[in-house]
Structures are given as structure tokens and as C-alpha cells.
Amino acid sequence: MKECGLISCQPGEHRYRICPEESVASPNRVRREFIPGEPNTLWCGDISYIRTGKGGSYLAVVMDLYSRRVVGWAMSSTADAELVCRALRHALEIRRPEKRVVFHSDQGSQYSSKRYRQ
């Protein structure tokens, strides 16, 4: 980083908003076996905060664990259930899986919200 003239910028402490709806944890169907035998059987997702020159945005991604490729994503100024819903819809539109897909997440409030589980 030094050779390229880059400087690390550590963000301050960040707190997500509390989800006003009821959230329920889902059973762990993956059990740390993150190597599926075929595409579109096991997806995972997470949210990251990306700093920009004008503040920042949240990026939600959906990854197919077979190929380790991002198959869906969405960005927003807020890290809410709608953000992760849009990322999942994007993945479903792109991949159009023929069978049921298991989705694994950290079960944060966005992923365990009623809106996302519907």
C-alpha cells in the first residue's frame, strides 16, 4: 500500500438499526459443509459497507458456493431487509434455479426479518 501511495482508512464504530419486526433464526442446514456438488444448490450472502467520496453505500451480495461467484447483488444507502431481498431477486433472475436452493447467511436482522423469509 505504501508503494502505491495508499492509506488505510479505518471506519468508526458502526451500529446497524434494530429491526422493528419480529425476527426468527432459521435452522442450520449447511453445518459448515460449504462445498456443494453442483451449481445453484447452496448460496450464501452478506452485506458490506463501502466508503465513497460522498459518504458510503451498503452492498448486499449473493454467492453461489459451487462456483464461488457472485450471482446477485444490490446497493442501497440503508442496510435493510429490502436491500437483501433485491440482491436475492437479482440472483434468482440471473440464475433461474430449477431446484430449491439453500441460502446461508449470518442470520443478521435483515436475513431473519419476516420480509426476507417470505
Q: What is the pTM of this model?
A: 0.70
Which of the 8 DSSP states describes residue 23? B
User: Could you give the number of structural domains in the chain?
Assistant: 1
Per-run averaged pLDDT (10 residues), the chain, 118 residues: 72 57 53 73 91 89 93 93 92 92 73 68
19 lies in some domain: no
CATH code of residue 53? 3.30.420.10
Q: Sign of dihedral through CA atoms 73, 78, 81, 9? A: positive
What pLDDT was estimated at residue 4?
Answer: 75
Domain that residue 49 falls in: 42-117
